[in-house]
Amino acid sequence: MNVIITKDKVEAGKKAFELVEKAIHNDASVLGLATGSTPETLYKEMRASNTDYSNLISINLDEYKGLPADHPQSYHTFMQENLFNAKPFKKSFIPDGLGDEEDEVKRYNKTIEEYPIDLQILGIGTNAHIGFNEPGTSFLQETHVEKLTEATINANKRYFKSEEDVPKYAFSMGIKSILSAKKILLMAFGENKAEAVYNMLNGPITEQVPASILQTHNDVTVIIDEAAASKL
Ligand SMILES: O=P(O)(O)OC[C@H]1O[C@](O)(CO)[C@@H](O)[C@@H]1O
C-alpha cells in the first residue's frame, strides 16, 4: 500500500483531492463515497473546485438502518450538505435506511454490479472497520445489515443527542464489494486511529481487523496525518 503522511487533515484533504482529480482525468466515472468526519476536508476541496461531477456516478458505502433520508444525522443528509448540494452527480446511490432489508440488499448489490467502482474513498473506524463492516465480518460479504459494535456506537454518539439515539444497525456495502473497486483511497486522522492504522498496514490479515484485507488489493493509497501515523 502506498502511504502518504501529511501534517494535518487539511493537507490530507488537498492531497486526496489531487488523487481524485487524477482518477477522474484518467476516466474514472464511478466514485465510491464515504461519510463520517474523515472525508470532510476532501469534500471541502471538491466543493471549492471547478470540477464538474455531473457526468459521474456516486455510490455511498452505508446508511443507518431506521433513519429516514431527511433525518439530520442520516448519511443522505451528510452527503447533501457536504457535497451534493454544491456538486450534484449524474446519479447518486445511498442505501435507503427505511428500505426492506432483503430488497435493499438486492438493489444495492445490483447497483454495484451495474456501476463498478473506479475509486473508493474510505475512512477507518477505531476498531479498523471499513464501511460499517465491523470486526468479525466475513471478507466475502456483499451488501448486508450490520450490527454496530459498542466501539462504533460510542464513536458516533457525538453526532446524536444521546447514545440511545445512535442507530444500532446499518446497511453497509460488504468487504467483497469494497475490494472490487479498481482503486482505493483510505484516509485516517488523529491519535485514536493510530492503532487501527498500524494493524491495517502491519498486522496479520484477519477478519478481526477488517481493514487488514486491503493489504491484498493492488491499488491502495493511504493518506494519514502525523497523529494517525504515530504508531508506525
Ligand atoms: O470518519 P469517522 O467519523 O472517524 O468514522 C470512521 C468511519 O466510520 C464510518 O462512520 C462508518 O462507515 C465511516 O463513515 C467513517 O469513515
% residues pLDDT > 70 (the chain):
100
**CB-CB contact of 54 with 89 (8 Å):** yes
Cα 67 to ligand 1 centroid, rounded to whole Å: 17
Give domain status of residue 217, yes or no. no
In this structure, the residue with its CA closest to atom 10 of ligand 1 is 36
Question: How does pLDDT run across 160-209, given as a tens digit for each residue?
Answer: 999 999 999 999 999 999 999 999 999 999 999 999 999 999 999 999 99
Whether 129 is catalytic is yes
For residue 159, the number of C-alpha atoms closer than 13 Å in the C-beta half-sphere is 17
In the structure, what pLDDT confidence band is assigned to residue 70 with cuts at 50, 70 and 90? Answer: very high
User: Ligand 1 atom 6: the closest Cα is on which residue?
Assistant: 125
Count of C-beta atoms within a 10 Å radius of residue 191: 12
Give 110-152 pLDDT, tens digit per residue.
Answer: 999 999 999 999 999 999 999 999 999 999 999 999 999 999 9
- What cell numbers appear for 86 in the block? 454544491
Question: For 7-32, what is the mean pLDDT?
Answer: 98
Give pLDDT, residue 53: 98
Total domains in the fold of the chain: 1
pLDDT for res 7: 97
To which residue does cell 440511545 refer? 164
227 within some domain:
no
Ligand 1 centre to CA of 91 (Å) is: 23
State whether the beta carbon of 36 lies less than 6 angstroms from ligand 1: yes
How large is the average pLDDT for residues 48-73? 98
Q: Which residues contact 116 (CB under 8 A, 6 or more apart)?
A: 30, 180, 181, 182
Q: How confident is the model at residue 215 (pLDDT cuts 50, 70, 90)?
A: very high
| 120 contacts: CB under 8 Å, gap ≥ 6 | 31, 32, 178, 181, 183, 184, 185
Is 216 domain-assigned? Answer: no
Distance CA 184, CA 143 (A): 18
d(CA 31, CA 93): 10
- Asked if the structure places residue 229 within a domain, the reply is no
Indicate the pairing of strand 169-172 with strand 119-122.
Answer: unpaired
Residue 226 within a domain: no
Confidence of residue 12 (pLDDT cuts 50, 70, 90): very high
Q: What is the CATH number of the domain that holds 150?
A: 3.40.50.1360
Among residues 45, 63, 96, 134, the one annotated as catalytic is 134
What is the C-alpha separation between 25 and 62, in angstroms, rounded? 26
> Residue 113 belongs to what domain range?
2-211
Say if ligand 1 is within 6 A of residue 211 CB: no
For residue 222, being part of any structural domain is answered with no
Q: Please indicate, yes or no, whether the overall pTM of this predicted structure exceeds 0.90.
A: yes
In a domain, 15, yes or no: yes
Percentage of the chain lying above the pLDDT 90 cut: 100
Q: Is residue 123 part of a domain?
A: yes
pLDDT at 214: 98
